[in-house]
C-alpha cells in the first residue's frame, strides 16, 4: 500500500491528496498539509455545486482532526472562496468537514458520541476542547441527523396529561 493511501486512511480524508506531514514533538502537534482532488475543487460550501473561483480567501486554514495518541492532529489546506449563484461569495467546500466548522467529520462524530455516553466535562478533557465547542458540535451533528431521520417516524400514539 502506498504511503499516501495510508495517510489518507489514518486522517480519514477522501477525495484528498496528502502533500506533506509534519510532527512537532515540542508542541505536540501533527500537521498534515492536504489539497482537494480536481473533482472536489471550487464547490459551494452550502450547496456543493460547482462555482467559479472568486479569490484565495484568507489563505491556508486548519481543521482539527482526531488525535494520534498524545499529539493533536490538524489538517491544513487552502481555503479559497467561490461565487455561488444562490449563496453569493462563500468559502469553498472541503470533503473532510462541515461548512463553517473547524473540525473534521470524524472529530465531530467522536465528540457527539462521547456526549451521549459521558458528561460534557469529561468530553472537554478527553478531546481537549472547550465546553462551548462541545455544544456547537452537538448542534451541527444533530442538524445533519435531523435531515436524514424523522424523529416521529413510526409514532402511533402520544399521551398528554396534566403531569406531562
Co-location of 80 and 109 in the same domain: no
Rounded to an integer, the average pLDDT of 97-113 is 94
Contacts of 12 (CB under 8 A, 6+ apart): 65, 66, 96, 104, 105, 106
Rounded to an integer, the average pLDDT of 138-148 is 90
Cell of 41: 475543487
Rounded to an integer, the average pLDDT of 122-132 is 95
Interatomic CA distance for residues 28 and 73, integer angstroms: 9
Co-location of 60 and 115 in the same domain: no
Q: Note whether residue 136 is domain-resident.
A: yes
Rounded to an integer, the average pLDDT of 107-118 is 95
Q: Note whether residue 162 is domain-resident.
A: no
Band of pLDDT at residue 25, cut at 50, 70 and 90: confident
Co-location of 62 and 140 in the same domain: no
Q: Note whether residue 158 is domain-resident.
A: no
Band of pLDDT at residue 149, cut at 50, 70 and 90: confident
- Of 95, 119, 134, the one marking the end of a domain is 95
Rounded to an integer, the average pLDDT of 127-133 is 94
Band of pLDDT at residue 164, cut at 50, 70 and 90: low
| Structural domain containing residue 138 | 103-152
Interatomic CA distance for residues 110 and 127, integer angstroms: 9
Domain tally for the chain?
2
Co-location of 87 and 113 in the same domain: no
pTM: 0.84
Band of pLDDT at residue 140, cut at 50, 70 and 90: very high
Interatomic CA distance for residues 121 and 46, integer angstroms: 31
Co-location of 127 and 78 in the same domain: no
Co-location of 48 and 26 in the same domain: yes
Helix (H) or strand (E) holding 135: helix 131-148
Band of pLDDT at residue 72, cut at 50, 70 and 90: very high
Q: Note whether residue 157 is domain-resident.
A: no
Helix (H) or strand (E) holding 20: strand 16-24
Co-location of 91 and 113 in the same domain: no
Taking 90 as the threshold, does the pLDDT of residue 5 lie above it?
no
What are the C-alpha distances in Å from 88 to residues 8, 48, 83, 139? 32, 13, 5, 25
Co-location of 77 and 1 in the same domain: yes
Amino acid at each position: 500500500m502506498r504511503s499516501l493511501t495510508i495517510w489518507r486512511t489514518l486522517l480519514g480524508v477522501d477525495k484528498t491528496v496528502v502533500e506533506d506531514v509534519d510532527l512537532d514533538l515540542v508542541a505536540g502537534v501533527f500537521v498534515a498539509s492536504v489539497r482537494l482532488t480536481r473533482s472536489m475543487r471550487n464547490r459551494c460550501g452550502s450547496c456543493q455545486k460547482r462555482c467559479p473561483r472568486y479569490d484565495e480567501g484568507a489563505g491556508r486554514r486548519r481543521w482539527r482532526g482526531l488525535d494520534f495518541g498524545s499529539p493533536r492532529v490538524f489538517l491544513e489546506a487552502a481555503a479559497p472562496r467561490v461565487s455561488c449563484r444562490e449563496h453569493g461569495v462563500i468559502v469553498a467546500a472541503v470533503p473532510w468537514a462541515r461548512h463553517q466548522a473547524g473540525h473534521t467529520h470524524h472529530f465531530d462524530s467522536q465528540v457527539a458520541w462521547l456526549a451521549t455516553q459521558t458528561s460534557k466535562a469529561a468530553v472537554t478533557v478527553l478531546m481537549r476542547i472547550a465546553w462551548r465547542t462541545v455544544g456547537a458540535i452537538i448542534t451541527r451533528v444533530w442538524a445533519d441527523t435531523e435531515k436524514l431521520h424523522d424523529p416521529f417516524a413510526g409514532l402511533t400514539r402520544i399521551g398528554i396529561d396534566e403531569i406531562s
